[in-house]
């Protein structure tokens, strides 16, 4: 694995300024969440740093790299090629940033769709991506920020619910992993 500083420099040339600023916001939020829930802070910072490493690849480049790096592209991802950036990002992190840690790679891979039964680090990156300080204000942002530090599974259910609503409103295809994740975290947090 490249060290944090080297990765940061390498990343800067792959991301737009806006995305880079967003990324540093996610690093900060992930660090706070890791401290709150007793996760490995260095892993959280590193996963956050690389979570969007493939996001700014143009669509053709995403398609080409998915092929080259053997990233499976399902029907939903074919329709919304941007959705591949998380799965592809994990492969880019492995091959170009030399990350071998499966926990970090998993957190990059599932930061957009989520899935059921996520690891603590996966949940931290998913939530940090949503609540980072640079996000433009929207209705449920403040509430998400509050719940994020109270109960991590409730935060997952809350964020997934509102993400799914947002996707539906815009008539965008909804990934089955997100639906599965929502049902999972909804039932977990209701059982608490």
Q: How far is the CB of 85 from Fe ion (least distance, A)?
A: 6
User: What is the rounded CA–CA span in Å between residue 182 and residue 163?
Assistant: 10
Binding mask 38-57 for Fe ion (x = CB under 5 A): --------------x-----
Q: Which residue has the tokens 């998400």?
A: 144
Taking the complex as a whole, the smallest distance from the CB of residue 89 to Fe ion amounts, in Å, to 7
Nearer residue to Fe ion within complex by CB, 8 or 189: 8
Instruction: Confirm or reject binding of residue 132 to Fe ion (CB under 5 A).
Output: no
The structure tokens 């109960």 sit at 151
Nearer to Fe ion, 91 or 129 (CB): 129
Contact between 29 and 48 under an 8 Å Cβ cutoff? The reply is yes
Q: What gap in Å lies between CA 5 and CA 31, rounded to an integer?
A: 16
**Among the listed residues 31, 91, 129, 153, the single contact to Fe ion using CB under 5 A:** 129
161 Rama class: left (phi>0) / alpha (psi -120 to 50) / beta: alpha
The distance of closest approach from Cβ of residue 192 to Fe ion in the complex, given in angstroms and rounded to an integer, is 28
Q: How many residues make contact with Fe ion (CB under 5 A)?
A: 2
**CB within 8 A of 12, min separation 6: which ones?**
20
Answer yes or no: are the C-beta atoms of 159 and 118 closer than 8 Å. Answer: no
- The least CB distance from residue 163 to Fe ion, in Å, is 12
Q: Which is nearer to Fe ion, 52 or 91 (CB)?
A: 52
Nearest approach, Cβ of 114 to Fe ion (angstroms)?
12
Site of interaction with Fe ion (CB under 5 A): 52, 129
């Amino acid at each position: 694995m490249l060290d944090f500083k080297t990765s940061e420099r390498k990343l800067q040339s792959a991301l737009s300024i806006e995305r880079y600023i967003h990324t540093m916001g996610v690093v900060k939020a992930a660090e706070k969440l890791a401290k709150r829930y007793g996760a490995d802070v260095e892993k959280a910072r590193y996963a956050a740093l690389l979570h969007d490493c493939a996001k700014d690849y143009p669509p053709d480049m995403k398609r080409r790299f998915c092929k080259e790096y053997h990233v499976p592209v399902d029907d939903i991802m074919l329709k919304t090629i941007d959705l591949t950036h998380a799965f592809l990002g994990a492969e880019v992190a492995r091959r170009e940033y030399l990350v071998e840690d499966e926990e970090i790679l998993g957190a990059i891979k599932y930061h957009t769709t989520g899935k059921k039964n996520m690891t603590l680090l996966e949940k931290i990156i998913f939530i940090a991506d949503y609540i980072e300080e640079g996000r433009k204000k929207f209705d449920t942002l403040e509430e998400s920020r509050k719940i994020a530090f109270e109960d991590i599974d409730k935060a997952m259910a809350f964020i997934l619910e509102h993400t799914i609503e947002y996707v539906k409103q815009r008539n965008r295809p909804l990934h089955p992993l997100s639906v599965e994740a929502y049902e999972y975290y909804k039932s977990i947090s209701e059982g608490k």
